[in-house]
Amino acid sequence: MKSVHIPLSLLRILGVCALLVLPVPSGADEAENQIKYRQAVMKAIGGHMGASSLIVRGKVSHRDQLKVHANGLLSLSRDIAGLFPEGSDFGETEAREIIWEKWDDFRKAADESKAGIENFVRVVETGGDSDLAAAFRRVGKGCRGCHEDFRQKDE
């Protein structure tokens, strides 16, 4: 079998051409997409909160799944403030401008909410049913704190 010699300059040109035809993700961090992502994450948090509430209040007998929901809340809340990048304060969003005007207050509220979730996870993992309702109320209080101050009121 005979080997074919391709000049290095031709390989470079082919390499550049290949890069030009590769799909380039456009709009990956556009504000509209950030808003949609934030809303999807918040909806997922709401789903875990709703399911957890039903379990904690004894409305359903899925105690074995509470750890899944608690850890889901924790995973999704690791960086709540990061879901609100500068420039994502317009359009179809319930986020109030005060988030960006009082960023330190917002970050503190988000961190307090996360601390409540971390406590809830600890209680769930240790099986402390006597502390479960109180730990879950703390999570709800953290969520309400952000929503009351930094989210548009539903009309």
Q: Helix 66-76 crosses helix 31-56 at what angle (to 10 degrees)?
A: 150
Using the predicted structure, report yes or no on whether residue 63 has a pLDDT greater than 70: yes
Instruction: Determine the Cα–Cα distance for residues 88 and 34; give it in Å rounded to an integer.
Output: 7
Write down the pTM of the prediction: 0.78
pLDDT digits (tens, 9 = 90+) for 107-116: 999 999 999 9
Using the predicted structure, report yes or no on whether residue 67 has a pLDDT greater than 60: yes
* Percent helix, strand and coil across the chain, each to the nearest 5: 70, 0, 30
**Domains of the chain with bracketed CATH:** 29-150 (1.20.120.10)
Using pLDDT thresholds of 50, 70 and 90, give the confidence band for residue 24.
very low
